[in-house]
């Protein structure tokens, strides 16, 4: 199961192995450490088969009660899931939103915490607003900010990214909100984001 969080909303996908394999979507809500999720099977008959989870998240563990309703029969059981450990450290690159060149994000571990630096050509900018959450990270960066002001160019603006590791691939969404008028209709909207790890 892969879950994404945006504010209090939880969404994702699931796969069940066994004699009758199944795959579908996950929806839910998170309030503090209390999470409620429901699994939907697009090919299954609506209302005849439902899976719901009610529990809590602590560190890399999600534990609670899993309820399965199958053709009117409801069965509940304790259920626990552990998040896969991933390595986000290294340098990741993707096409720049404001010009035909690659930009990079360098992630390092320092004092048991992850730190990030945004690399654009020879310019290095520490990312102060960077949060890792086990299987992924979230960042916001004001590109163009200097120590005592702001340099407004076509590259200046807010960069917002969110990504998780799925099947060994970093994937998510990225947004760039320029200071000047957007030159493209899609400027500023969330775009699919698949940064590639740089072999160094």
* DSSP three-state, residue 187: coil
Say what the pLDDT of residue 125 is.
92
Say what the pLDDT of residue 186 is.
47
Q: Which segments in the chain show pLDDT lower than 50?
A: 185-186
CATH assignment of 90-198, among 2.60.120, 2.40.128, 2.30.30, 2.40.50: 2.40.128
HSE toward the beta carbon, residue 87, CA cutoff 13 A: 4
| Domain ranges within the chain, ordered by starting residue | 2-82, 90-198
Say what the pLDDT of residue 141 is.
92
Say what the pLDDT of residue 20 is.
74
DSSP 3-state percent helix, strand, coil across the chain (nearest 5): 0, 65, 35
CA 6 distance to own-chain centroid: 9
| Interatomic CA distance for residues 175 and 185, integer angstroms | 13
Say what the pLDDT of residue 135 is.
79
Say what the pLDDT of residue 197 is.
92
Q: Are 86 and 79 contacting, i.e. CB atoms less than 8 angstroms apart? A: no
- pTM exceeding 0.85: no
């Amino acid at each position: 199961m892969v879950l994404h969080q945006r504010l209090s909303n939880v969404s994702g996908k699931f796969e069940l192995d066994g004699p009758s394999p199944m795959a579908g979507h996950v929806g839910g809500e998170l309030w503090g450490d209390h999470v409620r999720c429901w699994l939907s099977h697009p090919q299954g008959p609506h209302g005849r088969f439902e899976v719901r989870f009610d529990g809590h998240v602590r560190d890399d563990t999600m534990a609670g009660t899993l309820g399965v309703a199958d053709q009117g029969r409801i069965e509940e059981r304790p259920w626990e899931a552990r998040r896969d450990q991933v390595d986000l450290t290294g340098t990741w690159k993707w096409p720049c939103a404001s010009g035909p060149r690659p930009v990079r994000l360098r992630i390092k571990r320092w004092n048991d915490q992850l730190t990030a630096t945004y690399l654009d050509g020879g310019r290095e900018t520490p990312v102060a607003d960077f949060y890792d959450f086990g299987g992924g990270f979230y960042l916001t960066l004001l590109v163009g900010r200097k120590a005592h002001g702001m340099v407004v160019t076509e590259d200046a603006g807010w960069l917002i990214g969110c990504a998780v590791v799925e099947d060994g691939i970093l994937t998510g969404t990225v947004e760039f909100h320029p200071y000047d008028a957007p030159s493209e209709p899609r400027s500023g909207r969330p775009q699919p984001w698949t940064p590639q790890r740089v072999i160094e």
